[in-house]
Amino acid sequence: MAIVYLGIDLAKSVFALHGVDEGGRRALVKPSVARGKLEEVVAGLPPCVIGMEACSGAHHWVRLFQAHGNTVRLIAPEFVVPYRLSGKCGKNDAADAAKNARLCWAMLHRGESFAMPA
């Protein structure tokens, strides 16, 4: 079961990951990954398409993930809003994981055209 799409919710110290295979079935769900372990977790996965919300620190992660052979799609915040369960200030790991699942679904089924990092 190879991960094709991986949604990552970026935060200050704990990140949420959700990966799906080509059929859209869950292949990886990690609702809590520490900052120091994120690159290690992603490096241990086969190269895939990673989707994450564009923010001030996103380009740092893009460079690290691309170095491991991944394709990264940064998603503008206005396109992420429809996938959120809680408000912009709400912190809920289950909601973050669900948002990542919906981002993976959007990349897989709807062919959303998100901004590619420069």
Phi and psi at 81, nearest 5°, equal: -50, -45
Whole-prediction pTM value? 0.76
- Residues 39-73 have pLDDT tens digits of 999 999 999 988 888 888 889 999 999 999 999 88
Mean pLDDT, rounded, of the chain: 77
Q: Could you identify the residue written with the tokens 């295979």?
A: 21
CATH class for the region spanning 5-110: alpha beta
Q: Where are the domains of the chain?
A: 5-110
Tell me which residues of the chain have a pLDDT lower than 70. 1, 81-118
